[in-house]
Amino acid sequence: MNIFFKRIFNFIKQHPVRYIGSLILMMVSSVAVIYPARIIGQVVDQIIKGTLTAEWLIGHLVVLVGVIAVAYAAESAWTYMIFIGYYEIQQELRVKLLRNNLRKKIPFYAHFRTGDIITRSSEDVSTMGEVMGFGTYATLNSSFMLIVTLSMMITTVSLPLTIAALIPMPILSYFVYKWGYEVEEEYSKAQAAVSELNNEVLEMIDGNYVVRAYGQEEAMIGAFREKTEVAMKKNIRVGELDSRFMPLAEFIAMLSFIIGISYGGYLVSQGVIQVGDVIAFQVYMSSIMWPIFLLGDILSTYKRGKVASSRIQELEVYDDGLERGGQSTLRRIESIEFKQFSFTYPGEEYPMLKEIDVKIGEGETLGIVGKTGSGKTTLLMQLLHQFPYNGQHISINGVPVVEYRENDVAHQIAYVPQEHILFSRSIRENMYFGKANATDDEIWAALKLAAFDKDVRRMPEGLDTIVGEKGVSLSGGQKQRLSIARALLRNRECLILDDALSAVDAKTEREIIEHLQAERKEGINLIASHRLSAIRHANEIIVLSEGRIIERGTHEELLDQKGWYYEQYNIQELEEEFE
């Protein structure tokens, strides 16, 4: 079954009572809406025959009012029930996509750009809402209205007249079918253009300072204007195709009316039907005009929905290639081991890490240094399983990481990345990401360990200070220290700092390192850094170059080797003397 219709049917199956109730009420309202046409035809016939009486008319008027009241109540109820689906499917899809997106690792985000993910998770989800709201409403309403109306036309008026009046309909069906595929194709292009536009907006916002610093405002505006024009033209094309349906439907409807009146008049002249039947037939024809007019909108809605469903499905099924499915329970981390570990980035020819052998146990700190591009961050990211292992293994407690439940491993690690991610909330709320139920005392203790407590106390709002989007109101060093404090509040057995002290001064760095040494005597610490002062206390330091370990040992042992570490240490010591 097409994934689009499967998604719709699965949603309907989740709410059977509502949709069964809607169908019943829809049938009642359809009959109630159409039935007055029969009464009108009878009134006309009574007038022509001269047999109309006040008693007969009043009786039928009472019935007519009652039928109209039933039609109003039934249609209001089922319309409300149907349009609940408009909001519910959006809520369900957004939560599902967020859960899916949070679970995926770096290959997923390398394939889908942020703006594209946002477009699919917002506009495409809204389109699915339109399908379950207006699309379902219009489809069911039109279908039942057509069935009931045609049944009344055939059984109460004339089968030949009904067939004759519907002769122009195949013309409408042909063009609706033909244009529908064009709508699907053009809407897919339009959504891709909108995704590209959103990507551009996000990049411009993120790079706002750089754009202004280099005086590229006009150039960026010009490039953005070109992309908006592309998106506009593609959406105009979709609108142009949509605009064809209604005029054609109106034209076909007029032809049907003309045929109905002409042939109906002929049948009256032949004594086959009554004048009242012709009047009722025209009322019936008016009733089926609504479904005919809606046909284009219905098809356009479903074609858009098919595109949206496909784009959403791409997010859901994209395989980031990571090994999952481990069932072993991890209660604590006692040791971490890289054994002859090599790694090549997807799509690359040469390995980034080559035959790494490292083992670290409880109460130990591993320092990772090396020049830019040597593989420090890559090594840490592979411990976090951000890329597929492709047969390579990292072991925790002697067991390959992939054999543990994914959440168990993540639960035991606190990670501070190079790019510090802060949320546009207060300092307290950002700290809650480390520990959701943390008390203020616990928060202040973690801030003190990160040497950030004094800064926060100087802020007018204290812990309630809003840091702004991505921590825009904080300096680089403050962002780093808040990120470190959040990780320390998490208080996990394994702490990973990926060049997390690069923006703080030497004095603050020493203070933080001293706190880490005092507070994390039993934990496992992995610290990657360009500044050797951040890792000189480590139990073991490894020096990476082009993905290989070229030196290893304690700080003193590496100085004795007089290699890269020794040279870099002398350079940094000299730089500190001149600061």
Q: Is the dihedral of CA 467, 98, 416, 106 positive or negative?
A: negative
Same domain for 132 and 166, yes or no, is yes
Percent of the chain at pLDDT > 90 equals: 15
Q: Residue 326: inside a domain, yes or no? A: no
pLDDT digits (tens, 9 = 90+) for 130-166: 989 888 888 887 877 788 778 877 887 888 888 888 8
Q: Residue 135: inside a domain, yes or no? A: yes
**Are 492 and 332 within 8 A, CB to CB?**
no
**Are 322 and 486 within 8 A, CB to CB?**
no
Provide the β-strand partners of residue 356.
341
- Interior CA angle at 52 toward 49 and 54, to 5°? 170
Same domain for 312 and 344, yes or no, is no
pLDDT (mean) for 528-548: 89
Same domain for 261 and 354, yes or no, is no
Rounded Cα gap, residues 117 and 483, in angstroms = 26
Rounded Cα gap, residues 337 and 576, in angstroms = 35
- In the numeric block, the tokens 């008027």 are attached to 61
Quick one: which of 342, 381, 339, 389 has its CA closest to 360? 339
Strand order in the sheet with 524-528: 413-416, 494-498, 524-528, 365-370, 540-545, 548-553
Quick one: which of 76, 48, 120 has its CA closest to 317? 120
Helix axes 440-449, 506-519, angle to 10 degrees: 120
pLDDT band at 578 (very low <50, low <70, confident <90, very high): low
560 vs 176, more confident:
560
**Are 542 and 549 within 8 A, CB to CB?**
yes
pLDDT band at 576 (very low <50, low <70, confident <90, very high): low
Question: In sequence order, what are the residues at sequence separation of 6 or more whose Cβ sits closer than 8 angstroms to the Cβ of residue 501?
Answer: 480, 484, 509, 512, 513, 529, 531, 534
Total domains in the chain come to 2
Instruction: Count helices and strands (H / E) in the chain.
Output: 20, 10
Same domain for 369 and 283, yes or no, is no
Q: State which residues form the domain around 391.
A: 335-578
Q: Is the dihedral of CA 416, 419, 420, 421 positive or negative?
A: negative
Phi, psi of 527 (to 5 degrees): -125, 115
pLDDT of 575 over the 70 cut: no
Alpha-carbon Rg for the chain, nearest whole angstrom, is 35
Q: Residue 328: inside a domain, yes or no? A: no
- Report the pLDDT value the prediction gives residue 397, as an integer from 0 to 100: 92
pLDDT (mean) for 201-213: 74
Q: Residue 23: inside a domain, yes or no? A: yes
Rounded Cα gap, residues 236 and 404, in angstroms = 52
- Interior CA angle at 206 toward 436 and 381, to 5°? 55
Q: Which among 284, 317, 350 is the end of a domain?
A: 317
455 vs 150, more confident:
455
Quick one: which of 153, 152, 136 has its CA closest to 23? 136
pLDDT digits (tens, 9 = 90+) for 14-40: 888 888 888 888 888 877 777 776 777
Q: How far is CA 128 from CA 20, 39, 142, 316, 454, in A?
A: 21, 41, 20, 15, 50
Same domain for 501 and 557, yes or no, is yes
Percent of the chain at pLDDT > 70 equals: 99
pLDDT band at 544 (very low <50, low <70, confident <90, very high): very high
432 vs 28, more confident:
432
218 vs 118, more confident:
118
Q: How far is CA 219 from CA 193, 213, 224, 226, 227, in A?
A: 20, 13, 9, 11, 13
pLDDT of 362 over the 70 cut: yes
Provide the β-strand partners of residue 414.
495
pLDDT of 295 over the 70 cut: yes
- Report the pLDDT value the prediction gives residue 38, as an integer from 0 to 100: 72
Same domain for 35 and 161, yes or no, is yes
Q: Residue 325: inside a domain, yes or no? A: no
Q: Residue 31: inside a domain, yes or no? A: yes
Neighbours of 550 (CB within 10 A): 15
Quick one: which of 83, 189, 191 has its CA closest to 135? 83
Tell me 131's DSSP state: I
**Threshold 0.95, pTM exceeds:** no
Question: What is the DSSP pairing of strand 494-498 with strand 353-361?
Answer: unpaired
What CATH number does residue 281 fall under? 1.20.1560.10
Run of H or E including 343: strand 335-343
Strand order in the sheet with 394-396: 353-361, 335-343, 394-396, 399-400
Same domain for 134 and 215, yes or no, is yes
Rounded Cα gap, residues 458 and 442, in angstroms = 19
Same domain for 272 and 365, yes or no, is no
Residue 452's SS3 state is coil
HSE (side-chain half, CA atoms, 13 Å) at 2? 10
Same domain for 290 and 217, yes or no, is yes
Q: Which among 262, 282, 317 is the end of a domain?
A: 317
Same domain for 359 and 473, yes or no, is yes
Q: Residue 330: inside a domain, yes or no? A: no
pLDDT of 366 over the 90 cut: yes
pLDDT digits (tens, 9 = 90+) for 297-323: 788 888 888 888 999 999 988 888 888
Q: Which among 317, 344, 363 is the end of a domain?
A: 317
Rounded to the nearest integer, the mean pLDDT of the chain is 84
**Are 305 and 128 within 8 A, CB to CB?**
yes
Q: Residue 327: inside a domain, yes or no? A: no
Same domain for 305 and 348, yes or no, is no
Rounded Cα gap, residues 430 and 485, in angstroms = 10
Same domain for 349 and 300, yes or no, is no
pLDDT of 541 over the 60 cut: yes
pLDDT of 579 over the 70 cut: no
What CATH number does residue 537 fall under? 3.40.50.300
Rounded Cα gap, residues 457 and 529, in angstroms = 29
pLDDT digits (tens, 9 = 90+) for 498-521: 888 887 888 888 888 888 888 888
